Amino acid sequence: MTETGAPLCFLCRRPLGQRVEWHHPVPKSRGGRETAAVHPICHRVIHATLDNKALERSYATPEALRAHPDIAAFIRWVANKDPDFHAPTRRRKV
């Protein structure tokens, strides 16, 4: 939460905007039940960067996600954007 009480994004820690999505830190397909609020753009970047197997095994915490080099670069880029900012997200290279 911010000083004003606004909730923060699980990934980038910016205040959430009008649109909020719910991310399963451990994917639902892998037995995850908990959810965390994220910006739509942050949610897309998580899933464009990592598959469910990687999310379950190595990236179930926000700290682990933020340490991934591609996600860290995204967080630096999005840091000063409006909470409702959105842009197309590229898929990971396979």
Q: Is residue 48 part of a domain?
A: yes
In a domain, 40, yes or no: yes
Segments forming the whole domain that contains residue 43: 21-78
Residue among 11, 2, 3, 15 at smallest CA distance from 84: 15
The pLDDT > 90 percentage for the chain reads 82
Tell whether 6 is covered by a domain: no
Q: How confident is the model at residue 6 (pLDDT cuts 50, 70, 90)?
A: confident
Instruction: Specify the pTM.
Output: 0.87
Amino acid at 53: K
Residue 3 lies in a domain: no
Residues in the chain, how many? 94
- Bridge-based pairing of strands 36-38 and 21-23 is antiparallel
How many domains does the chain divide into?
1
Residue 52 lies in a domain: yes
- Residue 93 in any domain: the answer is no
44 domain residue, yes or no: yes
Beta strands in the chain (DSSP E): 21-23, 36-38
Does any domain span residue 88?
A: no
